[in-house]
Amino acid sequence: MKAALREDALIVLPAAVLCEVWKSAPRHGSVALRRNVHQTVSLDAKLAEQVGQLLDAVKSTQIVDAVVALVAVQNKPSLILTSDPKDVATFVKAAGASCAIAPNIADVIIARV
């Protein structure tokens, strides 16, 4: 994340990620990352439909991971920092794309690196 800030990369946070961040007390500190976010992506009807189709294709109920994957794919080239690299990679692959993925305490997308 620090390297992305130094490189002036676009940092994108799907709003759905905030739900997961706030549900777990130990992760509240990661909300500080919002200070560095350039763009927060809302879950509109179009993205919701795409997420639903991707969830069906993967046979999963991991909505936030699917949102993260799709937002990253739509902002390529991108690096996904996530607490669920394996699950997010499954969604990215199912979307017919590829993105760099690295472990992180909270989900964030560094786009156009």
- Residue 19: pLDDT band (50, 70, 90) is confident
Domain ranges in the chain are 2-111
Q: Which residue has the higher pLDDT, 19 or 52?
A: 52
pTM given for the model: 0.85
Distance (Å, rounded) from C-alpha 110 to C-alpha 113?
7
How confident is the model over 80-98, as pLDDT tens digits?
988 889 999 999 999 999 9
Q: What is the pLDDT of residue 110?
A: 72
Q: What is the pLDDT of residue 89?
A: 96
